[in-house]
Amino acid sequence: MRWVIKRSNRMKKVMLYAYTNLNLGDDLFIKILCNRYPNTKFFLYAPKKYKKFEKEIKNLKVFSSDSFFSRIINLILRKLKFFYFIRKQIAKRTDISVYIGGSLYMQHDNWESSYIDKKHMQFNDSPFLVLGANFGPFNQKQFYERYNKLFKNYYDICFRDSYSYNLFKHYNHVRFSDDIIFQLGIKKRNIKKKNNIIISVIKPSQKCIPCVDDGYYEKIKEISNYFIKNNYTVTLMSFCESEGDEEAVESVIKRIPKIYRYKVERHLYQANIEETLNVIASSSGVVATRFHSMILGWIYDKPVYPIVYSDKMLNVMEDIAFRGFYGDLRNKIHRIHPNEVFESLNTNSMDVSKQVHNSSKHFKKLDELLLTKPIN
Give 271's contacts (C-beta < 8 A, 6+ positions apart).
22, 27, 49, 52, 53
Mean pLDDT, the chain, rounded, equals: 93
Cα 96 from chain centroid (whole Å): 22
Confidence of residue 78 (pLDDT cuts 50, 70, 90): low
Order of all β-strands in the sheet with 174-176: 60-64, 41-46, 13-17, 96-100, 128-133, 156-159, 174-176
- In single-letter form, the type of residue at position 280 comes to I
Q: Which residues pair with 307 in a beta bridge?
A: 327
Check residues 117 and 373 and name the one with the higher pLDDT: 117
The kind and range of the H/E element at 286 are strand 285-288
**What is the average pLDDT across 279-301?**
97
Helix, strand, or coil here: 338? helix
- What is the value of pTM for the model shown? 0.93
CA dihedral 158, 63, 239, 28 (to 10 degrees): 40
Output DSSP code: residue 322.
-
Kindly report the number of other CB atoms within 10 A of residue 90's CB atom.
17
Mean pLDDT of the region 102-124: 93
Q: What is the CA radius of gyration of the chain?
A: 21
Distance CA 203, CA 80 (A): 39
Query: What integer is the mean pLDDT of 230-253?
Result: 98
Quick check: 197 and 227 in contact, CB under 8 A? yes
* Mean pLDDT lowest among 69-83, 169-183, 221-235, 244-258: 69-83
Ordered by where they begin, the domains of the chain are 13-176 (3.40.50), 187-354 (3.40.50.2000)
Residue among 180, 174, 176, 144 nearest 156 (CA): 174
Nearest to 91 by CA among 38, 55, 128, 57: 128
Grouping H, G, I as helix, E, B as strand and the rest as coil, residue 176 is strand
pLDDT digits (tens, 9 = 90+) for 137-187: 999 999 999 999 999 999 999 999 999 999 999 999 999 999 999 999 988
Among 16-30, 238-252, 340-354, the minimum mean pLDDT is found in 340-354
How many angstroms separate the CA atoms of 306 and 326, rounded? 5
Is 193 in contact with 187 (CB distance < 8 Å)? no
- Using alpha carbons only, give the angle 40, 44, 47 rounded to the nearest 5 degrees: 150
> Beta strand pairing status for 304-308 and 285-288?
parallel
- Angle (deg, nearest 10), helices 273-281 and 24-36: 110
Give 156-207 as a 3 state SS string.
EEEECCHHHHHHHCCCCCEEECCCHHHHHHHCCCCCCCCCEEEEECCCHHHH
**Least trusted range by pLDDT, from 16-25, 106-115, 117-126, 138-147:** 117-126
The answer to whether 100 and 84 have CB atoms below 8 angstroms apart is: no
Read off the pLDDT of residues 4-60 as tens digits, 9 standing for 90 and up. Answer: 666 566 789 999 999 999 999 999 999 999 999 999 999 999 999 999 999 999 999
Q: How far apart are CA 181 and CA 134, in angstroms?
A: 14
Most confident of 190-194, 247-251, 331-335: 247-251
pLDDT confidence tier of residue 77, bands split at 50, 70 and 90: low
**Maximum distance among all Cα pairs of the chain, rounded to whole angstroms:** 67
- CA proximity to 23, closest of 243, 265, 350: 243
Residue 239: partners with Cβ closer than 8 Å, 6 or more residues away: 23, 24, 25, 200, 245, 269, 290, 292, 293
Q: Give the single-character DSSP code of 175.
A: E
3-state secondary structure of 117: helix
Report the percent of the chain where pLDDT is more than 70.
92
Q: What is the pLDDT of residue 157?
A: 99
Q: How far apart are CA 299 and CA 30, in angstroms?
A: 18
258-279 pLDDT, tens digit each: 999 999 999 999 999 999 999 9
* Cα 188 to Cα 36: distance, rounded to the nearest angstrom: 17
- How far is CA 372 from its chain centroid? 29
Where is pLDDT greater, at 73 or 286?
286
pLDDT band at 331 (very low <50, low <70, confident <90, very high): confident
Contacts of 254 (CB under 8 A, 6+ apart): none
Q: What is the mean pLDDT of residues 214-222?
A: 97
Query: Which amino acid is residue 362, in one-letter code?
Result: H
